[in-house]
Structure 1
């Protein structure tokens, strides 16, 4: 069956693709078959489209293929697990060795205060789980009114009904979600929000606004503050230095739990297995993770939390009425264990501290181009924001589709990059060679120059 599909020509696949709904896509635009790309093969840092064109995977599948594609260690572990125990649930009184091993491993890697693990199958589910667990926790301790969640403009926490509410409103235009549960704080995006303030002044402003919002909503009504260490799908937004430490101090002062959304940042992307403590110096009450947990080889997520929370929800008379059929799936757990072993054995996070900085610095060098208003991020999590006027940081109108144009030029030159409005996002595999890093920078420079020429020619 697989070979039959591979033997189909590209046009036939795209005709059949009419039945498939792509996520976060302009479905009307995709009615034009030429707007879609069929990816048929992958290996290492690269993928191939169905016509045989080789492409550097500059988005790591979707932030997730940290160890690279087609690693036989992970594939073999999945196959072996399926041949041993293909599926059993972790519901009721059941468990199985692979999920147990993985939970123990995650606890050994996470900040020391996080000792309990609940598995799901996506980052959205991990974040929903975190909130459901906290709501139940507060019910159990006699504070049932503590339900509100503080999030931020520009955040991305998933696309389920609750997770989308915690995500920046720009992602839910025209769609419903649990908005009444969430209050959004200002985005910590210096280019667009600092208005000329220094980094320290901007940080003070953000913290003052956070305190004011807590007091306006009432700390007695707020269950948690959720934050990505670096904002991902909202545009690679890096908060001012010290932001997370100051934010968690406010949370502690007002009896608000801190959820660190490490769906993207964990498992090496910033040079550490978890970034919350090792990079940003905080021990959150909960960490959510997915993506790099299995490097995308299987769908799996995890919500980690403290004994203090666990002791309440596991007390006498409590029932844990939450879970998914595939929570802790044996094959997914095996994939995660094998993936983590590759990360540790090959010291990939440690290598990222050097190779990721080379990547970051190469991309920051693109700031000399007229179209580039900002290059931001860290290591293998980078964003390039395009502007019409560097002096004023004026953006191009949506009709210019600058990010999409740049992404198309990149793909024509052998690189997949992700367009997000006037932003281009790069989140490649973590095993790039120095030569590949330099190639990406070259392709980006050529593509940005070509994009500027297009815009000039069309009068934008």
Structure 2
């Protein structure tokens, strides 16, 4: 069964008064001036390498050639409530017509930012009652470390500057957040040096060798303890970790991992920062996953992406009352912030997005449909080149292997993930290739029919790539 949206010409998508390119040729000609993020810029010069998206509705997007595609990556982990929701669009328009912009600098605030901060505090676990806004997950994570450095400066503990991250992590693309990200992502680029130290990747299927999962967990905790003892707890500000690693390959740590990491942090007086840029706002079935899913109580949580379902750029760093009490004390100014932090339109989008999710019980629905999606993708594990299907709910990864027994990978130059992604797009599904991995992070409002369609497209696409492999390997 096909899944479509109402037909709309690309020309209909141009807002009144904007002279936007309308044909594929014109769009891609203009796009030649755009430096695209996280792309093989040389590869983009080849014909057919770029796709122009011109319209979207629900779980679907349309390209400039009129093809309707299931948005299997949710824009980029973020369009949680689906595209084209009037509730959010109207809230943004109404806010802009009332107050288009004012900053939350100095002594100024405005109703939308104040109300959203209050709402986030009611949703967040424990005493995470203080909210600092920014405009991207990278900046939220960068800001978390900067705030903690300031926190320890004010306590007179000026040596506590180091950050513990993990191999396989993704925390952003600023000069500091890329240093917190797994080292391969910064190959060939400079980054903040000397601050971040990486712990072992918590990927049992790849790294567990002949250990049981419980033994692997013990080994991870011992690795962290050894690193802390080596670096000196008095020099470490925080540990930062995604509940489930996203762009590092959708890696789910062993059961109980985060709780034991937090306990170790507490023992050594190290702050625990949960990067919920992807996992918050329903992707795992809860507004926040740290406590509800992983039984942890972070000192800080960073969010972005799903906070507005991608309708406006917005991020936030949530902190405990205890941290705020220190940084808001006398004799000091909080000299950190971005011009557009808490932008009125973005804050209005966040409030409308949360209201919509609550009214439609989207997190609760995800606990059912998300497991159906997960199980649908796990059923692909019977295909010879599918090594591991991993993740949870609407956050899934498929790792392809040349040999299941040895877990040996295909040659990097083959780019097996891209081959499968291209086949899937030809059949009506956008999926995200990541080397030998394919990532799926669709809108949270998928129907059972759409979930089945995604499973069918992926199975057919993988099998077609398998049939082509002999000629591709010549």
The TM-score by the shorter chain falls in which range? over 0.9
> Is the partner of 1:33 in helix, strand or coil?
coil
Q: Distance in 1 between matches of 2:199 and 2:236?
A: 13
Q: Distance in 1 between matches of 2:104 and 2:21?
A: 39
In structure 1, which of residues 307, 332, 336 is the aligned counterpart of residue 350 of structure 2? 336
Q: Does 1:424 align with 2:438?
A: yes
Partners of 2:414 and 2:472 within 8 A in 1: no
Counterpart residue number, 2:23: 9
Q: How many residues align?
A: 460
Q: Distance in 1 between matches of 2:282 and 2:114?
A: 23
Q: Does 1:172 align with 2:186?
A: yes
Counterpart residue number, 1:126: 140
Give the CA deviation at 1:5: 5.0
In structure 2, which of residues 306, 319, 342 is the aligned counterpart of residue 305 of structure 1? 319
Counterpart residue number, 2:112: 98
> Is the partner of 1:56 in helix, strand or coil?
strand
Counterpart residue number, 2:241: 227
> Is the partner of 1:34 in helix, strand or coil?
coil
Counterpart residue number, 2:286: 272
Counterpart residue number, 1:203: 217
In structure 1, which of residues 366, 369, 376 is the aligned counterpart of residue 380 of structure 2? 366
Name the Cα RMSD after superposition: 1.0
Q: Deviations over 1:97-141 (max 9, x none)?
A: 110000000000000220100000000010011001000000010
Partners of 1:14 and 1:33 within 8 A in 2: no
In structure 1, stretches of 5+ residues that fail to align are none
Give the CA deviation at 1:192: 1.6
Q: Which moved more, 1:369-378 or 1:3-12?
A: 3-12
Counterpart residue number, 1:323: 337
Q: Distance in 2 between matches of 1:160 and 1:237?
A: 22
Give TM-score scaled by structure 2 length: 0.96
Q: 1:51-450 residue pairs with structure 2 within 5 A?
A: 51-450=65-464
Give the CA deviation at 1:456: 2.3
Q: Distance in 1 between matches of 2:415 and 2:378?
A: 22
Counterpart residue number, 2:10: none
Give the CA deviation at 1:15: 1.4
Give the CA deviation at 1:246: 0.3
Q: Distance in 2 between matches of 1:418 and 1:179?
A: 30
Give the CA deviation at 1:7: 5.7
Give the CA deviation at 1:458: 2.2
Give TM-score scaled by structure 1 length: 0.99
Give the CA deviation at 1:180: 1.2
Give the CA deviation at 1:179: 2.8
Give the CA deviation at 1:11: 1.3
Q: Distance in 2 between matches of 1:137 and 1:7?
A: 49
In structure 2, stretches of 5+ residues that fail to align are 1-13
Which ranges of 4 or more aligned residues in structure 1 deviate by more than 2 Å? 1-8, 456-460
Give the CA deviation at 1:33: 3.4
Q: Distance in 1 between matches of 2:208 and 2:38?
A: 29
Counterpart residue number, 1:40: 54
> Is the partner of 1:258 in helix, strand or coil?
strand
